[in-house]
Structure 1
Amino acid sequence: MKRRSTLINTLLAASMLAGTAATAAEIEGPKVFWKISMWGNPRALSAGMEEMAKNAAEATGGNFQIKIFYGGQLSGARENLDGLKLNAFEGAAICNFYHPGKNPAWMVFSLPFLPLGDPAVDRHVRSKLFEHPALIADMERWNAIPYVSGLLPQYEILGKGKAPNDLSDWAGMRVRAGGGLGSALEKLGAVKQTLPAGETSTAFQRGALDAAAFPFTYAHVSFKISDEADWYTTNLTPGTSECGWLFNKTAYEALPPQYQEFLMSQRETIMETTQAAYAEQDKKNLPVFQETMAQVTYSDEQLAEFREVAGKPVWDEWIAANSDKFDAQGLFDAVWSYAEEAK
């Protein structure tokens, strides 16, 4: 009798658990497993996507599983677009300056001195640009669709050796900086390098690099640049870039509508989580920077000179170089228009 009572209790418990699991699935659907390609280690940039993956599993009772593969396990940083085109995985992160020829319209994000310093404005502008026809067309060539921005903070620069306290000190300095940001530094006489993030610390150690521009402060720590540096700029804020997230178009269109709707509903959550992760990293990293490195702070006059030399000239060159590929002037103007909307 006792064994029968135990069996009944066990069956009742299992039935209750099954009922709980059933009610936990807010979204009914088939079992789907998605692979997302990413280089480097888990970090603030990927915090929002990790949150989305967790939410996907919870909302579907475990049926929609999304896993981010780090360290280039699925593809190198420069080959993620190729992998999407080949249907090698269902999603990927890209940095626009790793392959400017593959995503020419996306290089607008890397132009210097865009009005993206305020996090709220930055978020609005990037969200709107992810729906811009020129950016969508860039990705269609790679069987990809834009999903959500990585919201990279404004860059600052860390370096070794003599600190560039005067703008003239940048002449001849080898700086890891991509896109229009790199072009802006070239206007000061620097030598632009476009190394993948994971190779930058090694380049410092080998003496092949003098300075590196990364989103401040999290990326400098994530890629161990701060371990090598002697100084950092505090207020150069020359610009940023776009390391955002894409979906494989074939895979996305094959999803049931309820999964598609879920993914699109998560974009605000992803961006909120990502920005919070950046802020948390700054809170932790900045005191360490202040204790271990010399600070390079420029005067208003020096910053105005930098913008005059490396702002509009770089914009004009970019627009002229791309006007035969897409409406470069229209895309550039859209950035400023969207920024005005956000104010």
Structure 2
Amino acid sequence: MKKIKNLLCAAAALVSASATGALGANIDGPKVFWKLSMWGNPRALSDGMEKLSELAAKETDGNFQIKIFYGGQLAQARENLDGLTVNAFEGAAICNFYHPGRNPAWMVFSLPFLPLGDPKVDRYVRSKLFEHPAIVADMERWNAIPYVSGLLPQYEVLGKGKAPNDLSDWEGLRVRAGGGLGSAMEKLGAVKQTLPAGETAIAFQRGALDAAAFPYTYAHVAFKIHEEADWFTSNLAPGTSECGWVFNKTAYEALPPQYQEFLMNNRDLVMQVEQEAYAAQDQKNLPLFEESLTKVTYSDEQLAEFRERAGKPVWDEWINANKDKFDAQGLFDAVWQYAEEAKAAQ
């Protein structure tokens, strides 16, 4: 009887401890609720941050809550930096080419033909760049700090009408492509458009757009571009962009040290989940594209011509245009330095 009584007391103590969070929390701390602003629907780009949200709640027994608000509920895609400045929310996803004048150093991510095709190299380079003084300074102007890269895959293009099998076929096409990618397309004679992702499918429907460059393949499907398109490029790989995650500097500095440490210690987790999500989307989407769209594949000679026309000339123009704003040459060189470091470590 005494043994049963002791077991009952122990069970009662366990229930009591669980109710107060004593056993559930690996990280003790106050109740904090963070809002993150995001446009569009949940997708591979946000999977890593959703995993971070789950882990934050688990590790703190629900005391540190992180919630992503989708569909521009908190701010539109081009307004997230403004929202951070006025402390409207604690974090956001930003796409550098939505507001190039506001984050000029971040536009380095959108230069064409950077050495970021290998996912491991890409992850290393972007992680290092997120700590680069020029990248950090861009965000400080908006009361923000870089947190983690969106690791967007290489872009490809989906479009309507006649497929551009020759480089000359790009002449006059209205192509949604931002930053240096847009400049690269202009070198082929295309007309650059910088629409927010959520407006692109509508632009196709209205006949205001001929083609769109997005991270391949997940973003094309996420924004239903494949439903409007007739063809897709399979190996153009003109470059990528940076739709990364940043935190409100005021909110981050107000966090207790253990919460700050938790966030910084889990950046690799966020990126790993992102890359796995992109890969899973490719496995699902590629067969869909090949069944319903015309596949455009360029020869090595065509790709070499494209790189010659739209590689170094675009780099040089960008460096020259920004040399008085920050150390543009140094930032550009850092991309290649970090890429070499990553390759040497493999």
Is there any run of 5+ residues in structure 1 with no aligned partner, and where?
none
Matched, 1:50 2:50: yes
What is the Cα deviation at residue 19 of structure 1? 2.2
SS of the equivalent of 1:27 reads coil
Q: Name the CA distance, whole Å, in 2 between partners of 1:79 and 1:341.
A: 36
Moved over 3 A (4+): 11-15
What residue number does 1:127 align with? Answer: 127
Matches within 5 A, 1:129-278: 129-278=129-278
Pairs aligned (count): 336
Aligned-partner Cα distance in 1 for 2:220–2:313? 28
SS of corresponding position for 1:24: coil
1:12: Cα distance to partner? 7.1
Q: 1:58 to 1:308 in 2, by over 3 A?
A: same
Q: CA deviation at 1:14?
A: 5.7
- Corresponding residue SS for 1:226: helix
Matched letter for residue 207 of structure 2: G
Task: Tell me by how many angstroms 1:24 deviates.
Answer: 1.6
Q: Give, in whole Å, the separation in 2 of the partners of 1:190 and 1:197.
A: 19
Query: 1-side partners of 2:287 and 2:276: how far apart?
Result: 18
> Matches of 1:74 and 1:306 in 2, distance apart?
40
Give how far 1:293 is off. 0.3
- The one-letter amino acid paired with 1:193 is Q
Do the aligned partners of residues 82 and 14 (structure 1) sit closer, same or farther apart at CA in structure 2, a change above 3 Å counting?
Answer: farther
Instruction: Report how far residue 15 of structure 1 moved.
Output: 3.9
Task: Give the AA of the match of 1:142.
Answer: W
Q: Which runs of 5+ in 2 are unaligned?
A: none
The whole-number CA distance in structure 2 between the counterparts of 1:140 and 1:18 is 45
Q: What is the aligned partner in structure 2 of residue 16 from structure 1?
A: 14
- TM-score computed with the length of structure 2 as normaliser: 0.95
Q: Distance in 1 between matches of 2:87 and 2:304?
A: 47
Task: State the percentage of identical aligned residues.
Answer: 79
Q: Which amino acid is the alignment partner of residue 260 of structure 2? A: Q
Cα distance in 2, alignment partners of residues 172 and 242 from structure 1 = 26
Which amino acid in structure 2 is aligned with residue 66 of structure 1?
A: I
Counterpart of 2:79 in structure 1 is 79
Tell me the TM-score normalized by structure 1.
0.96
**d(CA) in 2 for partners of 1:17 and 1:216?**
49
The 1-side partners of 2:12 and 2:200 are apart by: 53
For 1:315, give the aligned amino acid.
W
